[in-house]
Amino acid sequence: MPPSDAPARQSAVLDVKDLKVFFPTDDGLVRAVDGVTFSVNAGQTLAIVGESGSGKSVTALSVMRLVERAGARIAGGSIVLTRPDGSSSELTSLSEPEMARLRGREIAMVFQDPMSSLNPVFPVGDQIGEPLRIHRGHSRLEARLAAVELLALVGMSDPLRQVDAFAHQLSGGMRQRVMLAAALACDPMLLIADEPTTALDVTVQAQIIDLLRELQQARHMAMIFISHDLHLVRDVADRVAVMYASQVVEEGPVDAVLGRPAHPYTQALLSCIPRRGELRGRTQRMQPIPGSMPSAISAPAGCRFHARCAHARPVCLAAMPVLQTVAPAWSTRCVRWQELTP
Amino acid sequence: MNAMPGAAGEAGEGAAVPLLRAHHLAKHFAGSGAAVRAVEDLSFELAKGEVLGLVGESGSGKSTLGRLLLRLIEPTQGRVEIDGVDISALKPTPLRQFRRHMQMVFQDPYGSLNPRMKVGDALTEVLLLHGMSSRATARDDAVRLLGQVGLSADFLDRYPRAFSGGQRQRIAIARALAPQPRLLIADEPVSALDVSVQAEVVNLLKDLQQSLGLSMVFISHDLSVVETIADRVMVLYLGRPMELAPTASLYDRPAHPYTAALLAAVPGAGRDKRRIMLKGEVPSAAAPPSGCVLRTRCPFAIDRCARELPALRQVGPGHYKACLRDDLEL
């Protein structure tokens, strides 16, 4: 049985509760993340999906405590990292030096654009070995040897030569492999991948997704996979959290949520993406979601999706729906889910 | 290749008379080293009212081809005929006049709309430039154009920055349609948009294409989107055509390993389903492999593939492929 069916019996590596992240701006307070709760277990991948502006990347950057640099404030909630020995850290209360000791060692992150994360003037081997020199006190030679091994691990051909390559000499897919090698250097408990394949061609994306999945399982790592692509999530994740207007609107096992969605937004988002053979021909039309996502400055009362929802009733405007349990480890923020789910 | 791969007959009555003919088009970009062979010896036809999808990964030459078709760049070889006019031979002034018949929509509407020009002015400018309106009627015509793309007259006096990505793409489409072109080239028109907005813009393009009888080349890396809008699809790799077929045949019965690999790599196939995987990444277009350009990544390559350049040949009704092997189960 995949771990997704038994989250309660597994220990959560990361436990995020009621997280709120706000950005003060001239136009008002942007509530980029507004009461987000989720957890990820060892050996499990949680995908966070949503459209641009839904709050998915800010959520990821908050776990890394990188949002404060962008002018945001963690306004509430908790982010708890629990180690295999049972010790844990409340990340929201760590100082920057404490966080720096943890970043790249216990939690690592890969981003969409490896070119801007790689330093153009140092060989990639230096950058892969850097976390080992910082966190583990490796010598230059030890770090270099480890970098060669890591490059082989991420499927780079000729790692002995590539260790001395510069970022600009590598293709997009190889750069992303290098970023992954650097992220895995210290054997993190949690890997956060923020749209790691969005800039890649589909055939290369398929290679990187397979690699991510293999490494995550072989190392029994917890992974948070941020994506705008619901179909891609099917290929990589055990569980999925769907974000809309700074909140999680549905969370559960990936096959359940994407197969029998229990929130009208998840349903609508899925029907925007045509399936093979479904919308061919001149009379077939795609089904967009009417309207647009509400501003994160002035979220509407009640359900945040109600203005765009084909199933909205007065009850949906009365109060913000709390997360309702659809099945064990599957929840939706819709009060009408039972009537709407076939 | 005997005849030029023509339309599949899905496009209706006009299918016999092509709107566009590309003859042995090539584009090489000279650089410090060997020239980049962005497009190599490409020939095809587009019927009146037909939508041709051009798909391929980065470096496939699809965007270069789009620009060649409109003569936004000069071909190294070959020529393009639109409605019987050899646009490759037109002098600057007649070419400028002919441009109203062929318009383009780009991926990034930010880049194609002047940020300092009100939407109304951007539209009336094009209408006046191509003599579509008089000073007296231009503003009314602009309102009509906005209506055509689903936007209200309130948009006229606002600047592009006031709009969402989807609204900006609608404005870019209105501007492209202003001179009532016969040919529209859409280069990744929805790639920068969220899926719900993509669906809106694809529906709009589909509606306009049909109501106006537009001939369209729809360029995209996204096979799912192309499937919903194209009558026929041409798959490009390293500047060469791999496969050309009516949409249903191409997606249901891909005949080329590259098409099969692209389809298998579309996300959502399921993590346990074994794919036809391509090895490595696209080689440099400055030093393409000998023979079949796909052979360095193709799981089915044999010795012959390195020696022979496969021609595009017919394998079914309107279905062409450039692969030497006929013994593959794809």
On chain A, the residues whose CB falls within 8 A of the CB of B262 are 202-203
Contact A288 B194 (CB under 8 A): no
Task: Please state the rounded mean pLDDT for residues B195-219.
Answer: 95
Measured CB to CB, residues of chain A less than 8 Å from chain B are 51-52, 171-174, 201-207, 209-210, 213, 228-232, 234-236, 268-269, 272-274, 276-277, 279-280, 282, 284-289, 292
pLDDT of residue B270 exceeding 60, the answer is no
pLDDT band at B97 (very low <50, low <70, confident <90, very high): very high
CA distance B254 to B252: 6
Residue B79 within a domain: no
- Return the residue of A nearest to B164 by Cα: A292
Residue A9's pLDDT is what?
A: 46
Give the model confidence (pLDDT) of B47-91 as tens digits: 999 999 999 998 899 999 999 999 999 999 999 999 999 999 999
Residue B58 within a domain: no
Judge whether B322 and B240 are in contact, CB under 8 Å: yes
**Region of poorest pLDDT, from A295-304, B9-18, B106-115, B207-216:** B9-18
Residue B268's pLDDT is what?
A: 76
Task: Please state the rounded mean pLDDT for residues B91-99.
Answer: 94
Residue B230 within a domain: no
Residue B158's pLDDT is what?
A: 93
pLDDT band at B16 (very low <50, low <70, confident <90, very high): low
Q: Which has the higher per-residue pLDDT, B15 or A304? A: A304
State the total domains in chain B: 1
Exposure class string for B266-295: b at 16+ Cβ within 10 A, else e: bbbbeeeeebbebeebbbebeebbebbbbb
Among B281, B294, B297, most A C-beta atoms within 10 A, so best to mutate, is: B281
Q: Which residues pair with B238 in a beta bridge?
A: none
Residues with Cβ within 8 Å of residue B144, at least 6 apart in sequence: none
Residue B2's pLDDT is what?
A: 40
pLDDT band at B8 (very low <50, low <70, confident <90, very high): very low
Residue B160 within a domain: yes
Residue B162 within a domain: yes
Residue B115 within a domain: yes
The per-residue pLDDT string of chain A (342 residues; one tens digit each, 9 = 90 and over) reads 444 444 444 689 999 999 999 999 999 999 999 999 999 999 999 999 999 999 999 999 999 999 999 999 999 999 999 999 999 999 999 999 999 999 999 999 999 887 788 999 999 999 999 999 999 999 999 999 999 999 999 999 899 999 999 999 998 899 999 999 999 999 999 999 999 999 899 989 999 999 999 999 999 999 999 999 999 999 999 999 999 999 999 999 999 999 999 999 999 999 888 877 777 877 788 889 988 899 899 989 999 999 999 999 999 999 999 999 999 999 999 999 999 886
Among B34, B121, A88, A136, smallest CA distance to A147 is for A136
Structure tokens at A231: 């179909």
Residue B119 within a domain: yes
> Quick one: DSSP state of residue B312?
P
Burial class (CB in 10 A: 0-12, 13-18, 19+), B7: buried
Residue B266's pLDDT is what?
A: 87
Residue B269's pLDDT is what?
A: 64
Residue B99 within a domain: no
pTM: 0.90
Residue B4's pLDDT is what?
A: 55
Task: Say how many Å lie between the first and final Cα of chain B, rounded.
Answer: 24
Domain that holds residue B123: 109-181
